Structure 1
């Protein structure tokens, strides 16, 4: 339960604006690691406050403490000038704090209304009064989501708006957003920032965690930088550049994905010939896909999400079988091969959704490094899993790929998002695949981890690996790719030379604005 005491001092910032949140001396220890060490944070009321830092720097832990998910070992919390003790999210909600986690917590088989009122039925019931309140909040803050729509039918942007609606519905005046733009396309990011500015104009306070420094500089009023669990700077976005922020975060300049000299050979590693996949009604999810990737080549696929990228990856990995066409791995037809057969044939896979397709969150790290490679050395001895060898291999991956963890025995779910991603990439790269299918390989990771992942992909390319790269990050696509294609409504509609293409040309092709018929 929340307890109040005398106002914490100071209760306002240097400019006289009252503080919505003040954390002082927050320390949180876990076995083998100090997640937060004497952290201080001052958030002005009615502001947008960004928290940036490397994966594993302690940002999410700090926000979980503010939301009552975890208790600090040391330090104090003050909300609106009153010292509070937050022992649970219920306490935080009563104090006016709401949190939207990076991975949405929605039931696809329920409507928007049902998701919003779940657990808060006493506020406005579950009928017309709740529906009217959702519509009122949606209209007031410009987040127009129909209350009776089924969540399964909605896109990522709408799902995020539902999560924000959930906390506003419960009366939150302080919103915590963990990586709110990680899964959004640029247009959705622009819309989200419009919503955040609307919340701010209504006197609400927004705290958000992000790795995307340009976005932070665009929307934040104040920025706190955390490194290795400690506050290292509080900066005004008007006086700092993305490059300077990166140096504060990781001690180095912003990385560049540039691939340097070409390593493309004549040896065809992966080919798709006339691949088609049926969609809803008469539409085709994939429509006549032809592409070839050579050894030493990175082929990038650009496109607005939902235009067939995910289905293309799933066809290559054997998760879906095309209705027509063929998939060839070094000339061998793998169109009807199973996922296991494709993996054993030397195709590595970095999935778009690491939680759904990449990890067992409750399993220890050493068990996660076996996934997809459970029939291959060093994980097996005869027909049985060789646990000792698998553990030794996991320790090697953790060391080589800078996965920050106190032990290989901890669960994958206990790692930060960036360290989860590095574990997956280490697992795939350690098998020296012939072809790597990389779907959004740096989504949700900080600039340091992003640089490391880019370097790994470039090094593998130099060694002759063929890479199919799907990404929503245009800088990543243009910088890494040797060949760049655009997918629109399931068709490859444009080819570009990454060395000369402009963002405007890519954007026009991705939206269809460059087509004469305008459709």
Structure 2
């Protein structure tokens, strides 16, 4: 059997941690091979070894049957291997073309960079694979989904035959995900071979031929996707049966914690992103906000948390108007916030885990006294959260957050926000980029917070998450409230229609 890539018995260690312990993965030509594992299982590390970013302590790599030493990403490129990282490596204020040719510039007469020639080639590749990319657009002006296509184009421009996609759907909308699946199918038709790192079982079933599972750095097995159920793959990944259904008793809503009345908020384009929006979130309930991305959810959350000025209307927390309060005052009044973008809004990446865990509370006792930090108290508190939320990191609370996997960064934020004992917990895309085991755990914690009498506002683009976890669902479209339904009395079809702008009464009869 001929393989384009063979990674045999790979071992990779970091400062006392074995990230990859004797792992084997074989990729055939024209195959989509999924690499499945929990957050921090060692998936990205294994692929970084293949891409020449890390040197393995043991094992061998063969490309088309010949053993190779991949000493750098440039060497990987020469061997026809390309990688799209989970967090894109693009220069925001450069054009698409400038990003793609960076480090590989075609020269005119050996002197001047020939951008025209490059742009023409980029357009040809873009058309061939239905990528629909404008070579002259600036990165900062295009959507996240388009930026990902630029990364794919970058590999194709360098004539890669083996494409590694690291968590490619973590940042995409549902429409963009189905478009990406079509792009992957086109790539395979053209004879490319693809390794996709993911923990979304539904997507593995939709696109992959084979699936290799690793758990805590160890090889568990490789299966034929068409013959293996999602439940079986989940069990291989987590090491136990996983429940896809959220267990919860009926909510017992109490007093109103958050009251939003006729709220209007401007978006970045200086037009109303949220119009005359009114909702109430009560103690002891989870209120879900459902909608396609970009329909006013960000403006709503930023107005509540104090990151965006309101245009009109009122925001009350436990009967007190808070729209003029500072962000810090709102935190002190009991608002916790799990942000959608963990890097921009949730963490200081070059701080340690313990510093990030007390980012919002370092000024309070016992963490400081008269401006002097109590490092011991901070460390103990961080250790508790790391243990309670199963945050996996190389050096415990001293780990620099940038070095952690995305899912573990997310668990650290969720731990920090829940342990602050808020009155109102705002969770935006709380399980984005998490594996099934972690998702199950986070959902359980959100329900626990509800049962402790907190008001939880859940904003998610995953419709099944909103339906599964919420008690009531407010549907937003183009910045307006389309209607509010009880989660137990609705279904995907009705909420989907409302998300498209069909009013509640009409959606019920469709």
Q: Partners of 1:353 and 1:19 in 2: how far apart?
A: 38
Which of the residues 412, 433, 436 maps onto 1:423?
A: 412
Shift of 1:256: 3.2
1:511 aligns with 2:492: no
Instruction: For 1:260 and 1:281, locate their aligned partners in 2 and report how far apart those are by CA, in whole Å.
Output: 41
Deviation at 1:257, TM superposition (A): 4.7
Q: CA deviation at 1:160?
A: 1.1
2:147 aligned with 1:159: yes
The 5-angstrom pairing of residues 205-224 of structure 1 reads: 205-224=193-212
Q: Give the one of 427, 434, 441 matched to 2:430.
A: 441
Question: d(CA) in 2 for partners of 1:342 and 1:516?
Answer: 36
What whole-Å deviation, never above 9, does each CA across 1:236-287 have from its counterpart, x for those lacking one? 0111111111001112233335352223323111111111112366741111
Separation of aligned partners in 1, 2:376 and 2:21: 35
Instruction: Look up the match of 2:297.
Output: 309
User: Could you tell me whether the CA contact under 8 Å between 1:54 and 1:227 is conserved in 2?
Assistant: yes
Once the two structures are TM-superposed, the CA of residue 126 in structure 1 deviates from its matched residue by: 4.2
2:227 to 239, 254, 259: 239
Partner-residue secondary structure (3-state), 2:361? coil
Separation (CA, whole Å) in 1 of partners of 2:164 and 2:107: 22
C-alpha change, 1:123 and 1:515, in structure 2 (3 Å) is farther
Distance 1:414-1:282 versus aligned 2 partners, 3 A rule = closer
Corresponding residue for residue 316 of structure 2: 328
The aligned residue for residue 484 of structure 2 is 495
Aligned equivalents of 1:329, 1:513: Cα separation in 2: 30
Deviations 1:294-314 (A, max 9, x none): 001111011111111112111
Counterparts in 2 of 1:46 and 1:457: CA distance versus 1, 3 Å: same
Task: Check if 1:462 corresponds to 2:451.
Answer: yes
- Structure-1 separation of matches of 2:198 and 2:47: 12
- The number of residues matched between the two structures is 502
For the residues of structure 2 that align with 1:455 and 1:516, how far apart are their CA atoms? Answer: 32
Residue 26 of structure 1: aligned partner: 10
Residue 290 of structure 1 aligns to a residue in which SS?
strand
* Alignment match of 1:117 (pick from 84, 101, 116): 101
- Aligned: 1:172 with 2:156: no
Of residues 123, 134, 145, the one that matches 2:122 is: 134
1:325 deviates by 1.0
Q: Tell me if structure 2 keeps the 8 A contact 1:344–1:376.
A: no
Deviations 1:68-99 (A, max 9, x none): 11111111111122211111111111111111
Q: How far apart, in 2, do the equivalents of 1:492 and 1:63 lie?
A: 44
Partners of 2:240 and 2:364 lie apart in 1 by: 38
2:397 aligns to what?
Answer: 408
Give per-residue Cα distances to partners, 1:116-149, cap 9 Å, x unaligned.
Answer: 2222213794421111111011011110111112
Contact 2:482 2:503 in 1 (8 A): no
Query: What's the counterpart of residue 366 of structure 1?
Result: 354
CA distance in 1: counterparts of 2:506 and 2:224, whole angstroms = 46
Asked whether the 8 Å contact 2:482–2:502 carries over to 1, the reply is no
Secondary structure at the aligned position of 1:121 is classed as coil
Task: Tell me if the contact between 1:301 and 1:484 (Cα under 8 Å) persists in the aligned partners.
Answer: yes
Match for residue 47 of structure 2?
63
Q: Point out where structure 2 has 5 or more consecutive residues left out of the alignment.
A: none
Q: d(CA) in 1 for partners of 2:119 and 2:379?
A: 52
- 1:106 aligns to 2:90 (yes or no): yes
Residue 407 (structure 1) shift: 2.0
**Conservation of the 8 A alpha-carbon contact between 2:483 and 2:503:** no
Q: In 2 relative to 1, CA 126–278 (structure 1 residues): closer, same or farther, beyond 3 Å?
A: farther
For 1:144-182, what per-residue CA distance to the aligned partner results, in whole angstroms no more than 9, with x for missing partners? 111112222211211111111111111111110010011
For residues 439 and 87 of structure 1, the distance between their equivalents in structure 2, rounded to whole angstroms, comes to 40
Aligned in 2, Cα 1:239/1:465: closer, same or farther, shift over 3 Å?
same
Contact 1:257 1:476 in 2 (8 A): no
CA distance in 1: counterparts of 2:404 and 2:358, whole angstroms: 17
Gaps of 5+ in 1: 1-11, 13-17
**SS of aligned partner of 2:351:** coil
Contact 2:261–2:315 under 8 Å retained in 1: yes
Change (3 A) 1:139 1:514: farther
Cα distance in 2 between the residues matched to 1:187 and 1:358: 26
Does the C-alpha gap of structure 1 residues 132 and 215 become closer, same or farther in structure 2, counting only changes over 3 Å? same
Tell me the equivalent position of 1:349.
337
Q: Cα gap change, 1:257/1:314 in structure 2, threshold over 3 Å: closer, same or farther?
A: farther
Pair 384,327 (structure 1): closer, same or farther in 2 beyond 3 Å = farther
Distance 2:251 2:359 in 1: 30
